[in-house]
Amino acid sequence: MNNRLAALLLLKNLILSMTVLFVSFPAAGQGILVPDTTGRVPSSTSSNAAQTNPLDTGSSLHKRNWRYRVNPSDTLELTFALTPEFNQTVTVQPDGYITLRGVGDLSAAGQTLPELTQSLKTAYSKILQDPEIAVDPKEFEKPFFTVGGQVGKPGKFDWYGDITLTQAIAIAGGFTDASKHSQVLLFRRVSDQWTEARIINVKKMLNSRDLQEDPELKPGDMLFVPKNALSKIKPFLPSTSASVFANPAAL
């Protein structure tokens, strides 16, 4: 009797755990809001939040027009077409600044190359007449994406462009036996304060042989493959408990 009671309790806990698991995730393909680094989530009842929410794009993943942004330790070559005596190679310092010949320090980290070019022109306009400046990155952080969870080789991988979600999973060693193919999470930073998360049903996509819904990754994207429900069951159970799963009607 005690063994049967323990088996019944175990089955009840398993059903409760699976219920919580499915309630925790929205429908596949639905974008959800991830808090910013301060932990704040804009209220869904606020009209202002609704107007500024970058995720209000239906079920499709928000597409970010990616441009490389300058990072600390980047090495940049600055070429002055009309005044070559100002040509120089600079390294972005840990605080994000570069030291420029003739004008001093300038904040560079976080800017795209066109933005930095304009900042340089503004700075050098104080001592030069209509300066023409070209910025050429020589050493910089390569674009990357990250894959974690239940894959063969989780980690950080170089992004070379035109990489889809299924290709990224293959690069990361493919799914493991414990993978939940139907709820692969794709996280994408869409602004300094917002990160979009989407659940991709890769199992359905592959079974239907329809890769039109296979999203293309962008630099900085992160994939996470969770465990399936069966892999969360303890590897060893009392024999009486195991028999409950095989024949629940016996309770």
Amino acid sitting at position 241: S
What is the C-alpha separation between 40 and 151, in angstroms, rounded? Answer: 31
Instruction: Identify the top-confidence range among 72-81, 202-211, 241-250.
Output: 72-81
Pairing of strands 144-149, 222-225: parallel
pLDDT band at 38 (very low <50, low <70, confident <90, very high): very low
pLDDT attached to residue 76: 95
pLDDT attached to residue 213: 78
Residue 75 near residue 116 (C-beta atoms within 8 A):
no
The three-point CA angle 31-36-37 to 5° equals 145
What is the DSSP-derived secondary structure letter of residue 34? E
pLDDT digits (tens, 9 = 90+) for 196-234: 888 989 988 888 887 777 888 888 899 999 998 765 655
SS3 per-residue string spanning 80-100: ECCCHHHCEEEECCCCCEEEE
132, pLDDT greater than 50: yes
3-state SS assignment for residue 193: coil
More confident residue, 225 or 189: 225
Give the global pTM. 0.50
N-to-C CA span, the chain: 11
pLDDT attached to residue 80: 97
pLDDT digits (tens, 9 = 90+) for 92-128: 999 999 999 999 999 999 899 999 999 999 999 999 9
61, pLDDT greater than 80: no
What is the C-alpha separation between 218 and 63, in angstroms, rounded? Answer: 9
The closest of 173, 178, 141 to 158, measured between CA atoms, is 141
3-state SS assignment for residue 230: helix
pLDDT band at 152 (very low <50, low <70, confident <90, very high): very high
pLDDT band at 4 (very low <50, low <70, confident <90, very high): low
pLDDT attached to residue 250: 53
Residue 214 near residue 186 (C-beta atoms within 8 A):
no
What is the C-alpha separation between 220 and 146, in angstroms, rounded? Answer: 7
Share of the chain residues as helix, strand and coil, in percent rounded to the nearest 5: 30, 25, 45
What is the C-alpha separation between 13 and 24, in angstroms, rounded? Answer: 16
Which alpha helices (DSSP H) does the chain contain, by range? Answer: 2-24, 47-52, 113-124, 165-171, 202-207, 239-246
More confident residue, 219 or 13: 219
